[in-house]
Amino acid sequence: MTMKTISQAIADTVSTWEGVTISPHRFGGIEFRVDKREVGHLHGNYQADIPFSSRLRRELVAAGKASLHHLYPNSGWVSFYIHSADDVPALIELLRLNYDRLTAHRTPVMAA
C-alpha cells in the first residue's frame, strides 16, 4: 500500500461516519468535521493532528497512543505520525475516539 492509498483509506473510512464532512485543510492536507467541529486532519500522508481535551491528551500521550502536538505541545491537540500501513488502525481508532466524544451529546434528527 502506498502512502497515497493510506491517506485515501483513512478518508474512505472516516467519511462513512454519520455527519462527517471532508474538506481541504487550511495548512494543506484534508480535515474531517462533524457538526462544524473538527474531528482531526491529515497533513499530507505522514501526519495527523487531532484536538482532544487536555486531560484526554495527557492520557493518550502517557499511554503512547499519540505524541504531543508538534507546534502546540501544551494544548489538547495531539500529533500522530504515519510511518506505514500498520499505523492506520491506531490512527482511525484515535479519530473515532474524538468523533464519539464530539457526537456524544448530539440530538438525533427526527424523520418527518
Query: pLDDT (tens digit, 9 = 90+) per residue, 27-65?
Result: 878 999 999 999 999 997 889 999 999 999 999 999 999
- CATH code at 19? 3.90.1150.30
Whether the predicted model's global pTM rises above the 0.75 cut: yes
Residue 112 placed within a domain: no
Query: Residue 10 in contact with residue 88, Cβ under 8 Å?
Result: yes
- Whole domain around residue 9: which residue ranges? 3-103
Residue 109 placed within a domain: no
Per-residue pLDDT tens over the stretch 79-90: 999 999 899 999
Residue 108 placed within a domain: no
C-alpha cell of residue 93: 481508532
Structural domain count of the chain: 1
Alpha-carbon span 28 to 42, nearest angstrom: 8
Residue 69 placed within a domain: yes
Query: Residue 8 in contact with residue 45, Cβ under 8 Å?
Result: no
Residue 111 placed within a domain: no
Residue 110 placed within a domain: no
pLDDT of 30 reads: 94
Residue 19 placed within a domain: yes
